[in-house]
Structure 1
Amino acid sequence: MKYIIHYDIAAIFVVLAAMVHFLYKKTISTRQTRIFTLLILAAIVSNIADLISIYLIENPREVPLWLHFTVNEIYLITFNATAAVYYGYIIGVTRGRERISKWEMTRILLPISIDIVLVLSTPFTQAVFYFDSGKNYLHGRLFMVLYAFALFYVLASLVHTIRYRKTMTLLQNATVYFYTISSFGAVILQIYFSNLMVAQFAVAISVLLIYLSLENPSDYGDKILGVYNALAFHEVVSSYIEKDKDFRVAGIQIEGLRYVGEMLGVKNQQQVVKSIAAFFVQAAGSRRVFALTDTRFAIVEKKKALDWSGLIEEI
């Protein structure tokens, strides 16, 4: 069988573009950005493994059988993991800072756990796929179960979105609807046209739409001072508290700025504040400094990550 891989190749470029832009623009770590990082990694690994598996299937005698199994297992696991992480992302978006319930975690983890067990055991059971004596790739009796798990995540994401649509943005809602329609369409196409590889492209476009619907990284930065703002401070501190992590906060109040403004003008006052912020960044690092107000700054980090005594003495 000759596979049509043009959509797979296009999908790699779409996902890579989203990944590079996301990593370049990413600021603080939030629940949404952490889950999206998992999603984009699963999507790119799945896409690459899919292309490699297609090459191996079309050239079965060039590599040992164990490599055939390994690559196909990576592809099948990461493909359904993409759907599972996507479902987790949708739940995370609607929950905000609330903890995800145990029942929701069960719905996220149980199907993909069964999926992983089925795929990893398939070299012994031939339940999902197998190879005949000529190393030809064949579907096992439980292969369609993987499609069922993927569609479960798609439908669960849709139902959850409809239920909590008022807590999501218009683009987030539209992304879920697009993902649902494109996923069903891709599965149906690949069932009837097994050589047409379109599922990864549908995932790639959904990943791109999800990225566009993420919170704007610039919302967490003070563009004038080049440090994080009060909203970022709240997110970081709340995350540390939620995870029960030890951390320290150094608060700095700048005195005399009003006098500088009165004597030298507002423009020079702002320049002084920028110089102070730059000094804090040099001393503590750009990812640790937060401007809370025009005269108040905070430095936040784990206890062992900074030499706090030396930092305070330098300030």
Structure 2
Amino acid sequence: MEWNIAAEAISLVMIGIIGVYARKGSHLPTLKNRIFQWCLTVTFSAIFTNILSTIMIQQYRVVPIWLTWIVTMVYFVLTPLMGMAYFLYTVSVIYTESPQVKKIMAVGIIPGAFYAVIVLSNPFNRLLFDINRSDGYTRGPLIPVTYLIFYAYCLASIALTLVNYKRIDRKIYRILAAFPILAVAVIIIQEMYPEVILSGSAATCALLIIYLHLQNKQISVDYLTNVPNRQELLNMLKIMIKKDPGRRFTLLVVSLRDFRQVNNTCGQQKGDEFLKMVCRFLCEAGPAENVYRFNGDEFALLFPEAEDDKIRRCVETIQKRMEQPWQSGNYRFRLSVVMGAIRHNEEETLEDTISAIEYAVFQAKSGKCGAICYCDRAMMKKLERRTQIVRNLKEQLEQQSFEMYYQPIYSVEKSCFAHAESLMRIPHSPIGPIYPDEFIPIAEETGLIVDITYVVLDKVCRFLNLLLEKEIPIESIHVNFSAMQFSQPDLAQRVLEIISRNHTPMSAIKIEFTESTLAESTQAVTEFTLRMLEHGIKMGLDDFGTGYSNIATVINIPFGTVKLDKSLVWVSMENEKSALAVKNLSRTFKELGMKVVAEGVETEEQRKLVVDFGVDQIQGYFYAKPMPEGEMEEFMLRREWPSE
């Protein structure tokens, strides 16, 4: 019989191409990746020996019989075992994290091993095939076993996929179910047209589907820099921690500072060129096979062993290079970086490791630890506390259980407490009291401050309603808004909806924000202020004098009040020139129609000073500390105003 091996030759080329690209993909030492490489090797070898065997059988009078026997025997062993390889791959995907994976694989190998015994005994019994000088190649009575083994493994793959339908991702489920069905279909065509050899084509189609959807390097490699991506790093760390929890590897993250300015100056495309240049440099300076793109402008360097000298040299090399300019075309920039580093210890999970390195980078960016921040035991404790605070904030946000405190604000003109500032407090938590100077920055960093502020506003509205129902006179309560609040596109709508839902007088709410907020979001603050004024809601500028904004910006926004930062009050106590400047500043704000509030007043001397400044309202411990709702209500009922 003359066989057509054209399809096999094409399949061999395709397998070779897949193999080349697959080696550029994920380098994770996972069972799935190892078996896929084995699938490639087995399939390539099976197709190659199939083609070689076919040629040798057709030339059996010329080629030595013993050599033809050996090649054909190898082909007969490998071809059905391709099905076993795909079955084992299916098992590795479905049972990746299961301790049963080795047991299932051991059982799955039994039919293949049994078949291999049949092939190896064939020279003695000729049950599968025979090759001799007179007849050439002839089939034996057990030749159907070859196909049955392949079918059995394909059906086992399908069955295993169906049984585990609920535990598999839908996309992976479709792929695992599709490739064995396709392979069976091709083999059926092979039986219908025995002169056309298609067994290799069936295997190639299956491998191509697996490669494109499950093993493609695009899944694990960053498209721009061609280094492994963040997910690949997470997978690698997960494997290292699981395999050897006590392994003391080091993770270093290099973060480019203000890289957005590069993109703004020369465009995204040129900015990408600079990123690729930095990445190539890091691959040369650090562990080339363990450089990852961690985030947009951040790269991670993984040192599998605790090699202090090597790590130190790497850091020094990076720092020295970053002192020099980078050039691409006509553009030349100095790219400053900060670095975070952590050494893993056996007590840390993957989540702990990633949280720690991100915290270290954040600390480095904040400038608190210099250009490089090493996340040591002390910082890990801080991070653990930060995690607990975040958890507590989320729980309290979900339950809306924040405790509200209020600090009365004294009206100089009316000689009474006509206003108050709302302050959120966490006096009780599993880790004890958490103070605002600790939880407010964390709430802002995590973005929780946005929803927290809406909850606070709702609670303030309810408290105002309570006071008004009891005919306790109060003109307004101040609510603080962070800069992040002004990044919300529906801010005005949400604020108006909360106040309206509570049927609280719009004029009883005064929204305050700091100079830093005004400096960061001038346009958004201005638009929001004008929108609120349309509804009778007044705005106040908090902590004026901390140096974030200029006077021109302040006077162009229609604030109801300007609150002088306590630092201005305190410095005025010590310096006559400062006192004169603050006094004139207060007069200017008042002439512009704004009320001036002095905060941080704690002594009689300070009270007299700010009264001399001509301020309208005074806030501070001299009059009252922040107090819970119940105490605030009693305080307002007593109406014990201090005398001048």
TM, length-normalised to structure 1: 0.80
TM superposition shift of 1:144: 2.4
d(CA) in 2 for partners of 1:14, 1:201: 9
* Correspondence for 2:290 among 257, 282, 288: 288
Q: Letter of the aligned partner of 2:202 in structure 1?
A: A
Listed as ranges, the matches of 1:249-268 within 5 Å are 249-252=249-252
d(CA) in 2 for partners of 1:4, 1:274: 48
Change in Cα spacing, 1:313 to 1:301, as seen in structure 2 (3 Å) is closer
CA contact (8 A) 2:21 2:217 kept: no
TM superposition shift of 1:47: 0.9
Q: Letter of the aligned partner of 1:124 in structure 2?
A: F
Change in Cα spacing, 1:248 to 1:71, as seen in structure 2 (3 Å) is farther
TM superposition shift of 1:252: 2.8
CA contact (8 A) 1:240 1:246 kept: no
Moved more, 46-55 or 215-224: 215-224
TM superposition shift of 1:114: 1.5
d(CA) in 2 for partners of 1:245, 1:59: 58
d(CA) in 2 for partners of 1:287, 1:261: 25
Q: Letter of the aligned partner of 1:286 in structure 2?
A: A
- Say if 2:203 is the partner of 1:200: no
Change in Cα spacing, 1:20 to 1:251, as seen in structure 2 (3 Å) is closer
Residue 116 (structure 1) aligns with: 116
CA contact (8 A) 1:250 1:298 kept: no
d(CA) in 2 for partners of 1:13, 1:265: 44
Identity %: 21
SS at match of 1:61: coil
Listed as ranges, the matches of 1:142-181 within 5 Å are 142-166=142-166, 167-170=168-171, 173-174=174-175, 176-177=177-178, 179-181=180-182
Listed as ranges, the matches of 1:81-96 within 5 Å are 81-96=81-96
CA contact (8 A) 1:129 1:137 kept: yes
CA contact (8 A) 1:154 1:179 kept: yes
SS at match of 2:289: coil
d(CA) in 1 for partners of 2:308, 2:120: 48
d(CA) in 2 for partners of 1:12, 1:253: 42
- Say if 2:33 is the partner of 1:27: no
Residue 10 (structure 2) aligns with: 10
- Cα deviations by residue, 1:35-58 (Å, 9 ceiling, x for unpaired): 222112211111111111111111
- Cα deviations by residue, 1:24-78 (Å, 9 ceiling, x for unpaired): 4x13324433222211221111111111111111111212222112111211122
Residue 422 (structure 2) aligns with: none
CA contact (8 A) 2:287 2:303 kept: no
- Quick check: which one's helix share is greater? 1
SS at match of 1:63: coil
- Cα deviations by residue, 1:243-269 (Å, 9 ceiling, x for unpaired): 4498552233558x65x669x77769x
d(CA) in 1 for partners of 2:18, 2:173: 16
Residue 239 (structure 1) aligns with: 239
Q: Letter of the aligned partner of 2:38 in structure 1?
A: L
TM superposition shift of 1:214: 1.2
SS at match of 2:252: strand
- Cα deviations by residue, 1:130-177 (Å, 9 ceiling, x for unpaired): 224526222234332222211110110111122223514447525633
d(CA) in 2 for partners of 1:289, 1:174: 31
SS at match of 1:290: strand
d(CA) in 2 for partners of 1:7, 1:261: 52
Q: Letter of the aligned partner of 1:109 in structure 2?
A: I
Unpaired segments of 5 or more residues in structure 2? 266-270, 316-644
TM, length-normalised to structure 2: 0.42
- Cα deviations by residue, 1:222-277 (Å, 9 ceiling, x for unpaired): 4556543332122112233444498552233558x65x669x77769x89987765
SS at match of 2:184: helix
SS at match of 1:121: helix
d(CA) in 2 for partners of 1:149, 1:207: 18
Change in Cα spacing, 1:78 to 1:247, as seen in structure 2 (3 Å) is farther
How many residues in Structure 1 have an aligned counterpart in Structure 2? 307
d(CA) in 1 for partners of 2:63, 2:245: 47
CA contact (8 A) 1:39 1:86 kept: yes
Change in Cα spacing, 1:273 to 1:207, as seen in structure 2 (3 Å) is closer
d(CA) in 2 for partners of 1:35, 1:204: 15
CA contact (8 A) 1:93 1:168 kept: no
- Quick check: which one's strand share is greater? 2
Task: Please identify the structure whose Cα radius of gyration is greater.
Answer: 2
TM superposition shift of 1:119: 1.5
Q: Letter of the aligned partner of 1:290 in structure 2?
A: Y
Q: Letter of the aligned partner of 1:186 in structure 2?
A: I
